């Protein structure tokens, strides 16, 4: 049995919620790269990680989403290493740490970048995340199957379990990625690439997640990772200026728990718009339903 | 006899080499440059937009078509300038301050260009003042703002506000788009329009410049 399946032996694991907005609440300026805070404000990053562990997250991620050589400049080895170290300190023995690998932000199909550059960037990031002691690697918010495959290959070479999660936010039914990939195509390709789990994160919102989960689950024999957005952002005037907030209440988000478990989700958390209150709400619903 | 049907197909298929070659041949055969744009490029990119709307095309296909259209436009642009032909409108486009994402912005820029607009692309992480100065200096009648992140979409409002402060708000129409942006947000910050896709952006831009 794979390590991933051992972790899931007692049932669904609750993961974490959004990090960027939580870091902003702690002073990260709009538009600044959150990953750099692993070096400049490690105590604030750790406070976010700890808030999720305290809320009941059994899996937390790392603040390393953009820390690949194509999306970001700087000492990426240090940023990635610190990101894992921070999350591990916050998790202690209470949660697993899955290290986040996000997309490069450039499109292969448009010729903005080639496979060799992507492969090198993902391999460098994955190696540092693994060496720093991550429990698993999460390739997330992918749109392009070819890029996802390169990231999974790089992540697999570390020997850690690998989850491949895509953002389904396009098409009339919000069931395609930006490049047009369906859940079936994603699940089949990622299973073939050797991913230990497949998933859907970010995307259109929690109300679309159960259908995506069911389709991913039906298309491969792997556990499914689900981390949807909490609705869409709205603007709010505050005394300090204009703020963006999400208007979905945590309890409404958590009310999708039963449908998502039914649909076959093995990992469940939130993406943009969620916060530790959403994780607490999920934990409450799970306690009440078991 | 220039084969403009072949140019139309090359753009829809995203074949930039054929698009460039057929454009050259058409010019050599005496086809007026403006007729190639209005009779071929614009309808071809409209068809690309239509295929996007009905989910035959996604972002990669659109980018390839845009590249083919650009290959043709690069040949035509100097010729058009020499004839004094006026574009449908002049648009300053960019991703707002703090945001480095440019895939969506590039797509909208290409679709607008394919739609007959003159496009001044300021790139990503563009400060409000640069939008204002460029729009004024280039006498643009349209400004298109992109943001991918919820944490940077507030820069759209500061950009709209900068046009107001500069006294230029009634000189330009401002359109906004990007993953977290909604019609409600566009209304709230005082933008003139919102497009939920690159195809919708072209239709919106045409509507705004003729309004």
Question: φ, ψ for residue A271 (rounded to 5)?
Answer: -115, -140
Q: Write the CATH number of the domain with boundaries A3-289.
A: 3.20.20.330
Q: 């298309």: which residue's tokens?
A: A219
Query: What ranges do the domains of chain A cover?
Result: 3-289
To the nearest whole Å, the CA of B23 is away from the closest chain A CA by: 22
Q: How far is CA A245 from CA A25, A272, A275, in A?
A: 11, 10, 11
Q: Which of chain A's residues have a Cβ under 8 Å away from the Cβ of B98?
A: 29-32
To the nearest whole Å, the CA of A143 is away from the closest chain B CA by: 10
**ipTM for the assembly:** 0.77
Q: Which of chain A's residues have a Cβ under 8 Å away from the Cβ of B179?
A: 169
Query: What ranges do the domains of chain B cover?
Result: 4-83, 90-210
Q: Would the pLDDT of A1 be above 60?
A: no
Q: For all residues of chain A together, what is the average pLDDT?
A: 93
Question: What is the per-residue pLDDT across A41-68, written as a single tens digit (0 to 9) for each?
Answer: 999 999 999 999 999 999 999 999 999 9
Q: A6: pLDDT confidence band, cut at 50, 70 and 90?
A: very high
Which candidate in A112, A236, A242 is best for mutational testing of the B interface (most B CBs within 10 A)? A242
Q: What is the mean pLDDT of residues A252-265?
A: 96
Inter-chain Cβ pairs, chain A and chain B, closer than 8 A: 91
State residue A237's pLDDT score: 67
- On the CB side of B202, CA atoms within 13 Å amount to 24
Determine contact, residues B10/B50, Cβ cutoff 8 Å: no
Say how far apart CA A209 and CA A265 lie, in whole Å. Answer: 10
Please say whether the dihedral angle defined by the alpha carbons of residues A113, A117, A118 and A124, taken in this order, is positive or negative. negative
To the nearest whole Å, the CA of B108 is away from the closest chain A CA by: 14
Write out the DSSP string of B95-109.
Answer: EBTT----HHHHHHH
Burial of B166 (0-12, 13-18, 19+ CB in 10 A): middle
Q: What is the mean pLDDT of residues B102-114?
A: 89
Q: Which of chain A's residues have a Cβ under 8 Å away from the Cβ of B94?
A: none
Please say whether the dihedral angle defined by the alpha carbons of residues A258, A281, A231 and A44, taken in this order, is positive or negative. negative
The tokens of A274 are what? 């969620």
State residue B82's pLDDT score: 86
Q: Does domain B90-210 have CATH number 3.40.50.2020?
A: no
Say how far apart CA A34 and CA A44 lie, in whole Å. Answer: 11
Say how far apart CA A27 and CA A278 lie, in whole Å. Answer: 21
Q: What is the pTM of this model?
A: 0.88
Q: Does domain B4-83 have CATH number 1.10.1240.10?
A: yes
State residue B199's pLDDT score: 80
Q: A240: pLDDT confidence band, cut at 50, 70 and 90?
A: low
The tokens of B156 are what? 């759209």
State residue A65's pLDDT score: 96
Q: Which of chain A's residues have a Cβ under 8 Å away from the Cβ of B107?
A: none
State residue A242's pLDDT score: 64
């Amino acid at each position: 049995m794979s390590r991933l399946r051992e972790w899931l032996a007692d049932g669904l694991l609750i993961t974490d919620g959004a990090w960027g907005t939580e870091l902003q609440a702690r002073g990260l300026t709009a538009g600044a790269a959150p990953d750099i805070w692993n070096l400049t404000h490690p105590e604030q990053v750790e406070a976010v990680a700890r808030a999720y562990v305290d809320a009941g997250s059994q899996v937390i991620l790392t603040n390393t989403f953009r820390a690949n050589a194509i999306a970001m400049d700087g000492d990426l080895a240090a940023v990635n290493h610190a990101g894992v170290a921070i999350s591990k300190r916050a998790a202690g023995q209470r949660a697993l740490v899955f290290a986040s690998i996000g997309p490069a932000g450039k499109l292969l199909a448009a010729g903005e970048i080639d496979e060799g550059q992507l492969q090198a960037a993902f391999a460098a990031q994955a190696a540092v995340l693994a060496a720093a002691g991550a429990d698993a690697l999460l390739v997330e918010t992918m749109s392009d199957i070819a890029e996802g495959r390169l990231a999974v290959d790089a992540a697999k070479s570390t020997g850690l379990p690998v989850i491949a999660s895509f953002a389904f936010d396009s098409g009339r039914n919000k069931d395609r990625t930006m490049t047009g990939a369906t859940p079936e195509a994603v699940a089949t390709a990622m299973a073939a690439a050797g991913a230990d789990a497949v998933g859907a994160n970010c995307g259109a919102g929690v109300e679309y997640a159960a259908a995506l989960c069911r389709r991913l689950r039906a298309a491969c024999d792997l556990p499914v990772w689900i981390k949807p957005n909490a609705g869409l952002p709205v603007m709010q005037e505050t005394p300090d200026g204009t703020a963006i907030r999400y208007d979905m209440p945590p309890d409404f988000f958590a009310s999708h728990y039963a449908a998502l478990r039914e649909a076959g989700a093995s990992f469940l958390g939130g993406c943009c718009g969620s916060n530790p209150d959403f994780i607490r709400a999920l934990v409450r619903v799970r306690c009440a339903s078991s | 006899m220039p084969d403009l049907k072949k140019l139309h197909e090359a753009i829809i298929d995203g074949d930039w080499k054929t698009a460039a070659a057929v454009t050259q041949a058409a010019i050599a055969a005496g086809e007026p440059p403006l007729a190639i744009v209005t009779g071929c490029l614009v309808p071809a990119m409209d068809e690309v937009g239509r295929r996007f709307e009905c989910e035959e095309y996604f972002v990669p296909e659109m980018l390839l078509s845009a590249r083919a259209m650009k290959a043709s436009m690069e040949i035509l642009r100097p010729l058009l300038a020499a004839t004094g032909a006026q574009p449908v409108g002049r648009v300053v486009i960019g991703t707002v301050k703090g945001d480095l994402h440019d895939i969506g912005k590039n797509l909208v820029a290409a679709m607008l260009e394919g739609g007959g607009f003159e496009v001044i692309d300021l790139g990503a992480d563009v400060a409000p003042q640069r939008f204002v100065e460029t729009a004024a200096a280039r006498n643009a009648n349209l400004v298109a703002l992109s943001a991918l992140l919820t944490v940077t979409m507030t820069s759209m409002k500061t950009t709209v506000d900068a046009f107001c402060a500069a006294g230029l708000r009634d000189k330009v129409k401002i359109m906004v788009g990007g993953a977290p942006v909604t019609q409600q947000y566009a209304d709230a910050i005082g933008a003139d329009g919102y497009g939920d896709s690159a195809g919708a952006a072209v239709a919106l831009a045409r509507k705004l410049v003729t309004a």
